[in-house]
Amino acid sequence: MSAHTKNLFDITNKRIAITGGAGVLCGQMSAELARQGAKVAVIDFNIQAAQALAGQIKKDGGTAVAVHANVLEKEAVEKSLAATLDAFGGVDVLINGAGGNRKEATCSAPATFFDLPADAIRWVFDLNCLGTILPSQVFGKHLAQQDAGSIINISSMNAFRPLTNIAAYSAAKAAVSNFTQWLAVYMAQRHSKNVRVNAIAPGFFLTEQNRFLLTDEKTGQPTPRGRTIIEHTPMGRYGQPEELVGTIQWLISDAARFVTGVVVPVDGGFSAFSGV
């Protein structure tokens, strides 16, 4: 790789705010991006987890700050922006990593779709969709004013191919993908052609949220659902959290400076495989 090509991917001193930054996947992003020289604001509702991760990043020689925020409260998000600006003097990148599902919003037997409670569905939509929109409003306004920056949303394979049982989560992540495209066009046409908006759509990664849906808690062997996923992933395995970082780094670097409004699958081929 030439020095010029290496420089295209360089993110040294990029100031990156990551919501849900202490979670399994985004925690790995926080740590890996810091290793690449970025300054990372680990924004999380669980401030203890954020502090622990930021402390480890600093111990490893990186730059990080822990910031508390509830992404469903705009005032709290505004305070997280202020804290990031205070720590780093600016923000170059927002990664909207906060999200998740709720057992009560799934229709695994014996529950059916017809019985899903509205408050559980609303919780999933709020966390994934509103929890992406509100930080994008707050941090996006700052990026537009400085006429530079990047927003990365976290969609899901569910937005490409809805999975059984998780109706609310699939629909909410589809909304995130749609919003990503909408915001990319809006920012470029109305505010700044130098603020790009993209998303990644992770395939299947083992997290604390899904571990015992995909593996048997007692034996560690794949559950029937886990076996189906592996069988439909051409690469034949789950992804490793650090395998998301290369795509993230590309999207926020100058190597992707003409890329906006895309949702990139990182899925081991799952979305490309028809099953036969």
In angstroms, the CA 170 to CA 124 distance is 10
Q: How far is CA 40 from CA 64, 140, 203, 216, 271, in A?
A: 5, 17, 24, 35, 31
Angle at 94 between CA 65 and CA 167, to 5 degrees: 115
Contact by Cβ (8 Å): 195, 143 = yes
- Phi first, then psi: give them for residue 67, nearest 5 degrees: -135, 130
Q: Is 203 helix (H, G, I), strand (E, B) or coil?
A: coil
Contact by Cβ (8 Å): 69, 76 = yes
**Residues designated catalytic:** 169
Q: How many CB atoms lie within 10 A of CB 222?
A: 16
End-to-end C-alpha distance for the chain, whole angstroms: 37
Q: Is 237 exposed, middle or buried (0-12, 13-18, 19+ CB in 10 A)?
A: exposed
